[in-house]
Amino acid sequence: MLVLGLVLVLVLVLVLVLTEGEIEEFVREGVVRVDEAFPRRVADACRQILWQASGCHEDAPSTWTRPVVRVGELALPPFREAAATEKLTLAYDALVGPGRWLPRGGLGTFPLRFPSAKAPGDCGWHIDASFGFEDQPDFMQWRINVASRGRALLMLFLLSDVGDDDAPTRLRLGSHLDIARRLAPHGDPGLTLGELASTGFAESAARPEALATGPAGTVYLCHPFLVHSAQPHRGRAPRFMAQPALLPAPSRSAAPASPVERAIQLALDEQPSSADPLRLR
């Protein structure tokens, strides 16, 4: 009986990786922070691989000659392990829905930011496009639609400790609601990234700002429409992170609306076209 009780407690703890309050905060603000989402030893292993891939050397700051170095996808065991911990799997289920997302084989690409007086040149506010990549070299022509076709979550994996001065990603809380309203009139084709950026994302400028800080192993799970921005590195230690997408499963589920979908519906409640429930595709 005691063993059964302990098992039930363990199951309850696992199910409540995200509390009801955190999920509702995600719906309203577009982001939730998961502490100790993957072990520090995994973050350490990822950084060692990325140091080698970057061509820079951890113990030689003279090699840190650029403000940002981008490393392509590396489907190696530490990256796969970081993306697939039990804690994160439960969080994906809570925000997107069980069976409604695809497991990741890695962590996507890696923007490594170094202390520098040079402007990195990539610090504009934006959201990440999710479809229309095929045979389209101009990323400003990639697209986003109101159903978030091709993207279930934006994720920020901290592979190093990140403080306020270490180029943490800037997040506009609640901006996903503004983007949903911009996209709604454009239906399935949606808008290109260039069309969305034509306003400078001024519609979300009044939103409060948060910084994606925390120790290595922290993950920020963001709504696909959350407006965010890089910034220059003003600290001392390089910042290593990954920013993969969680992709939706190809089949359309008839399950109740997920928190990602509920957030979009919340934004459209006053829109005449909001009667039909949205489904991620």
Buried b (16+ CB within 10 A) or exposed e, 228-241: bebbbbebeebbbb
| Of 54 and 1, more confident | 54
Q: What is the pLDDT of residue 136?
A: 82
**Does residue 277 have a pLDDT over 60?**
no
For residue range 230-267, list pLDDT tens digits in order: 999 999 999 999 999 999 998 765 678 999 999 999 99
For tokens 């991620």, the residue is 280
Domains recognised in the chain with CATH numbers: 23-271 (2.60.120.620)
Burial class (CB in 10 A: 0-12, 13-18, 19+), 171: buried
For residue range 83-116, list pLDDT tens digits in order: 999 999 999 999 999 999 999 999 999 999 999 9
**Does residue 219 have a pLDDT over 60?**
yes
Element (H, E) at 11: helix 2-15
The one-letter amino acid at 44: D
**Does residue 8 have a pLDDT over 60?**
no
As a whole number, the mean pLDDT across the chain is 90
Answer yes or no: are the C-beta atoms of 110 and 52 closer than 8 Å: no
Q: Which of 276, 107, 64 is nearest to 188 (CA)?
A: 276
Burial class (CB in 10 A: 0-12, 13-18, 19+), 19: exposed
Residue 24 gets which letter from DSSP? Answer: H
